[in-house]
Amino acid sequence: MERRWEDEGLDGLKDRSSAPLHCPTITHPQVVEKIIHLRQHYH
């Protein structure tokens, strides 16, 4: 936190989300669509 204070001043002390900015293991939307299509037609 001290580093944030030095780098950003008062704004560096504000609460911030710990959620990741992106999810590298997310399934590509086209793959999801294909899975849904296959399940609807062959399940």
Instruction: Give how far the C-alpha of residue 11 lies from the chain's centroid of Cα atoms, to the nearest Å.
Output: 23
Q: How many domains does the chain have?
A: 1
Q: Using 50, 70 and 90 to split pLDDT, how confident is the model at 1? A: low
- 40 vs 34: CA distance, rounded Å: 10
Q: Are 31 and 22 in contact (CB under 8 A)?
A: no
The 3-state DSSP class for residue 12 equals: helix
Its pTM surpasses 0.75: no
Tell me, what amino acid is at 4? R
Q: pLDDT (tens digit, 9 = 90+) per residue, 3-42? A: 877 888 888 778 888 888 888 899 999 999 999 999 999 9
- 8 vs 3: CA distance, rounded Å: 8
Q: Containing domain of residue 4, as a range?
A: 1-42
More confident residue, 32 or 1: 32
* H helices present in 1-43, as ranges: 2-8, 29-42
